[in-house]
C-alpha cells in the first residue's frame, strides 16, 4: 500500500506549534487540550495531533467530532487505520493473549460501533506521514515508527531511535503511539515524542502530556508539558460504560493496567513522576543536498531525568 504523505510547510509558520498524541476517546482531556491551545493563542493550523483519536476511553464519537471541528493537523494512528478500514482489532501491536490484547477486545469494539461512515471516510483520508520545513529544520511527523505505524519506541531504545532517525532522514522526528513523553538526540537529529493526552504516562499522576515546538532566531526549542484536566469526570464516564475498567482506574491512579509493551527501563520507572523539560536545536549548515543520516549513538533526553 502506498503511504499517503502530507506536506504542511506552508501552514505551520508564524509561531509556536502545539503537538499532542493519543486523545484515545478521552473527551475531557481533548477539551482541556483545546482550551490550552486557546490560552496559548495557538491557532488550529499550528496544532498537530499524531493520531489515535479513538481508543480506550468513553467518548469516541464526541472526541472525533471535537478534533474534526477543531481543524488541527492530524496524521493517522493505527486506530484510525483500523477503524477506517473496518478492521476487527485495533492493530496496536499488542502480543496475542497479553493483558493489553485482552483489554483491547473491550475498548476497540466499543469505539468501532460508535463511529459513523463519515468518520471512517475521514479517517481513511488522513495522511500516514507528514513533512514540513521551518526555520532551517526539516521535520517528519509519524505515529509509531517510520515504516511501521504501530511500532512502540521508548526513550531507553537508543539503537532503535538511531535507526529510525536514519530512516526518516530529517532533522526532527515528531512521534506518537508509545504513550510516554521523551526526547532523544543524535549528533544531527532529534526525536520528539510529546506523549499523549488520553491516558496518563504511567508516572503515578493523572496528568497527561503535550509538546511545544518554538522556532526562534534560528534556534528551535522543544518542550514537554504536563496538562491537568478533569480526569475524575473522564473516569466516571468510563465507569458508566464499563467497557475498559482497567483503563478507567488508570485515569485516576496514573498507573497503566499492564506493562506488556514497556522495556525494562520504562517498566522500572512506573510511578516515578516525570518532569517537564526542554531541549533546543540550531538549524544545521547544509553543505550538500540529499538526506542526512544520523550515524552516531543517540543520547536519551528522557522526561524522567
Residues that bind Fe ion (CB under 5 A): 52, 77-78, 177
The H-assigned helical ranges of the chain are 27-39, 60-70, 78-85, 99-113, 117-124, 158-168, 231-241, 245-253, 264-268
Q: Which is nearer to Fe ion, 51 or 215 (by Cβ)?
A: 51
Q: Which is nearer to Fe ion, 122 or 171 (by Cβ)?
A: 122
Q: Minimum distance between the CB of residue 150 and Fe ion, rounded to whole angstroms?
A: 6
Q: Left (φ > 0), alpha (ψ -120 to 50) or beta: where does 113 sit?
A: alpha
Q: Which is nearer to Fe ion, 81 or 171 (by Cβ)?
A: 81
How far from 273 is each of 152, 165, 192, CA to CA, in Å?
Answer: 21, 28, 19
Q: Minimum distance between the CB of residue 21 and Fe ion, rounded to whole angstroms?
A: 8
Q: Residue 220's closest CA among 291, 175, 171? A: 171
Q: Which is nearer to Fe ion, 34 or 177 (by Cβ)?
A: 177
Q: Minimum distance between the CB of residue 137 and Fe ion, rounded to whole angstroms?
A: 25
Q: Minimum distance between the CB of residue 176 and Fe ion, rounded to whole angstroms?
A: 7
Is 60:115 a contact under the CB 8 Å cutoff?
Answer: yes
Find all residues with CB under 8 Å of 45, minimum gap 6, and list them. 11, 12, 71, 72, 73
What's the grid cell of residue 221? Answer: 526549542
Q: Residue 212's closest CA among 203, 202, 221, 199? A: 221
Q: Which is nearer to Fe ion, 77 or 194 (by Cβ)?
A: 77
Q: Which is nearer to Fe ion, 77 or 195 (by Cβ)?
A: 77
Q: Taking CB positions, which residue lies at the least distance from Fe ion?
A: 177
Q: Which is nearer to Fe ion, 78 or 193 (by Cβ)?
A: 78
What distance in Å separates the CA atoms of residue 74 and residue 304, rounded to the nearest whole number?
A: 27
Find all residues with CB under 8 Å of 179, minimum gap 6, and list them. 21, 22, 195, 196, 199, 201, 202, 256
Q: Left (φ > 0), alpha (ψ -120 to 50) or beta: where does 180 sit?
A: beta
Q: Minimum distance between the CB of residue 177 and Fe ion, rounded to whole angstroms?
A: 4
Amino acid at each position: 500500500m502506498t503511504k499517503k504523505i502530507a506536506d504542511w510547510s506552508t501552514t505551520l509558520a508564524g509561531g509556536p506549534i502545539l503537538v499532542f498524541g493519543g486523545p484515545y476517546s478521552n473527551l475531557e482531556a481533548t477539551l482541556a487540550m483545546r482550551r490550552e491551545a486557546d490560552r496559548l493563542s495557538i491557532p488550529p493550523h499550528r496544532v498537530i495531533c499524531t493520531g489515535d483519536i479513538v481508543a480506550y476511553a468513553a467518548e469516541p464519537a464526541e472526541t472525533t467530532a471535537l478534533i474534526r471541528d477543531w481543524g488541527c493537523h492530524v496524521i493517522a494512528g493505527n486506530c484510525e487505520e483500523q477503524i477506517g478500514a473496518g478492521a476487527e482489532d485495533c492493530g496496536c501491536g499488542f502480543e496475542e493473549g497479553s493483558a493489553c490484547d485482552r483489554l483491547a477486545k473491550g475498548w476497540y469494539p466499543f469505539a468501532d460501533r460508535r463511529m459513523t461512515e463519515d468518520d471512517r471516510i475521514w479517517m481513511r483520508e488522513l495522511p500516514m506521514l507528514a513533512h514540513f520545513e521551518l526555520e532551517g529544520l526539516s521535520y517528519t511527523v509519524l505515529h509509531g515508527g517510520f515504516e511501521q505505524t504501530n511500532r512502540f519506541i521508548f526513550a531507553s531504545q537508543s539503537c532503535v531511535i538511531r535507526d529510525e532517525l536514519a530512516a526518516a532522514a530529517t532533522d526532527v522526528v515528531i512521534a506518537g503511539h508509545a504513550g510516554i513523553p521523551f526526547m532523544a538526540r543524535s549528533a544531527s537529529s532529534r526525536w520528539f515524542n510529546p506523549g499523549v493526552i488520553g491516558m496518563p504516562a504511567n508516572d503515578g499522576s493523572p496528568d497527561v502530556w503535550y509538546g511545544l515546538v518554538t522556532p526562534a532566531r534560528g534556534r528551535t526549542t522543544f518542550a514537554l508539558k504536563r496538562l491537568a484536566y478533569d480526569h475524575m469526570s473522564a473516569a466516571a464516564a468510563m465507569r458508566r460504560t464499563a467497557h475498559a475498567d482497567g483503563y478507567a482506574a488508570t485515569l485516576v491512579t496514573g498507573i497503566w493496567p499492564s506493562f506488556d509493551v514497556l522495556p525494562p527501563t520504562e517498566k522500572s520507572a512506573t510511578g516515578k513522576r516525570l518532569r517537564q523539560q526542554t531541549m533546543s536545536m540550531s538549524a544545521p549548515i547544509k553543505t550538500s543536498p540529499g538526506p542526512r543520516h544520523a550515524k552516531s549513538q543517540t543520547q536519551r533526553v528522557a522526561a524522567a531525568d
